[in-house]
Structure 1
């Protein structure tokens, strides 16, 4: 499931968190943050690596053309999303640009920490094949019905659109197959917080007894 461990920097244990769309990852990560745990969200890193003025954004422009850049120099995410949906190979092209840069930035952020453990949120863990970057994989699990209802409310989507979004991601069995720990987000707030508190204690105990190997990213191509 997750990688082996040896001496590392100031992070004793690297926990990769994943889960399907609208499974409750933000709620869980915020709860860990309130316990003093550093949280790195790869969705945030993905935006950083294509921010205006970055060579990542220039690489996207070179690959997809100026039509995916807005007049004020921002990435036009809707235009890029339309390209990806229209051309299956476009996603691979985009990931070849962004994934190494996200990995490199993730490694920098982890290296700057001194903490028993850190949470790294990777929504598409299975799809990206990043499970070996972490010491433990934490899955936030929710029912498909709850996910569909939440994403429809959150993104103002129709039922068919929400269903397609769920179908385009890894399924629950694939996520469970890589998970070391599972938070069951099918219950009430009290039950959720109890699971988080128990895992916090467990991770701190594990971190006290072991440390992680250095994560060496592939890095962006020149």
Structure 2
């Protein structure tokens, strides 16, 4: 199936764009959802994470304490690399399975680390939700009620705006309001339908 990778930095509006594609009847596979599935209680990956980082990364319920883990890995690039080497192959399996089960003219893979993780290899096109970094920082801080310093660490761990745009086949400009973003999604949807039809007929 024709598949589009939808990506963007933290606070870019990627989830809003994905929601508009869903409203148009397109199946969206969320890489963040896949990342949560592979560390559910009882999964081997969660046990490995707890052994490596200590019991503090688990909540009383036995679930992963994401905020604690996030603090640990963004303060230590080596630890982040260890975690990614464990989880990325498992997440990729989950994503592939969900994409293979998709129905409809085309599918969307929504992933904040589409390019960094190598998940772009699973898609035919890359669509980047873009906005100036100052606005990205402002929106992410307001949305997550987080300190700007923590948001900056996350942004540093991701590709720069320029690096993402270099990889983009399509760009959604989210510097304005959500109505503008929705209109752009509609235009891309029509283009993707045409590409999907051509792909099926070839």
Aligned counterparts of 1:164 and 1:67: Cα–Cα separation in 2:
22
TM-score, reference length from structure 2: 0.91
Q: Are the counterparts in 2 of residues 68 and 77 from structure 1 also a CA contact under 8 Å?
A: yes
Q: 2:148 matched to 1:169?
A: no
RCO higher in 1 or 2 (8 Å CA, sep ≥ 6)? 1
1:123-167 superposed Cα distances (whole Å, 9 cap, x missing partner):
012322332221000100111122111112112233444334333
TM-score, reference length from structure 1: 0.83
Segments of structure 1 that go 5 or more residues without pairing to the other structure are 1-11, 212-222
- Matched with 1:40 is 29
Q: 2:13 matched to 1:13?
A: no
Higher helix share: 2
- Matched with 1:215 is none
Q: Are the counterparts in 2 of residues 131 and 178 from structure 1 also a CA contact under 8 Å?
A: no
Q: 2:92 matched to 1:103?
A: yes
- Matched with 2:123 is 134
SS at match of 2:107: strand
- Residues 187, 67 of structure 1: alpha-carbon distance in 2 compared, 3 angstrom cutoff: closer
1:60-91 superposed Cα distances (whole Å, 9 cap, x missing partner):
22333333222321112233223323432211
Q: Are the counterparts in 2 of residues 126 and 174 from structure 1 also a CA contact under 8 Å?
A: no
Count, aligned residues: 200
1:192 deviates by: 1.8
Q: Are the counterparts in 1 of residues 27 and 103 from structure 2 also a CA contact under 8 Å?
A: no
Q: 2:15 matched to 1:26?
A: yes
SS at match of 2:80: helix
1:20 deviates by: 0.8
The CA RMSD measured in Å over matched residues stands at 1.7
Segments of structure 2 that go 5 or more residues without pairing to the other structure are none
- Matched with 1:150 is 139
Q: 2:69 matched to 1:80?
A: yes
